[in-house]
Amino acid sequence: MRTRGTLAALALPLALAVSACGDDATTASDPADSSTPTSSSSSSASSDLPTPQCTVVWVEGATLPGSFQGCYEGTKRIKPDGRYCEFGKPLFTYDERFFAVRNGTVHLATKPFAQDAKYQDTLRKCSG
């Protein structure tokens, strides 16, 4: 009988341990099913770039910021390319396609500047 009592005493903790493990198995989740987002190298890579990026600043119809002091193409700083206008604001150009004054609308030339009517009109107003 002593052996039977010893076996019963050993079996009880073993049964409790097995049942506790069973509860863990039903609540465990597959790491692949996790809703935690994985690291996004593309967003962290783009957030490492200096700002403002020229592709964000020079968008047709957008407003050129009043504080515009140039922009970046990747990590390369692009200095503002502009001419002073008689009406007190510099006229900036970018990529031989875009033009604007600070706090003004960004325009996209449809032809080279020398042939683009909107740019030529703006340039005439700039020169007085």
**SS3 assignment for the chain:** CHHHHHHHHHHHHHHHHHHHHHHHHHHCCCHHHCCCCCCCHHHHHHHCCCCCEHHHHCCCCCECCCCCCCEEECCEEECCEEEECCCCCEEEEECCCEEEECCCECEECCCCCCCCHHHHHHHHHHHC
- Each of the 128 residues of the chain gets a pLDDT tens digit; together they read 555 554 445 444 444 444 444 444 444 545 444 454 444 444 455 578 999 999 999 999 999 999 999 999 999 999 999 999 888 889 999 999 999 999 999 999 999 999 999 999 999 998 87
Q: What is the pTM of this model?
A: 0.63
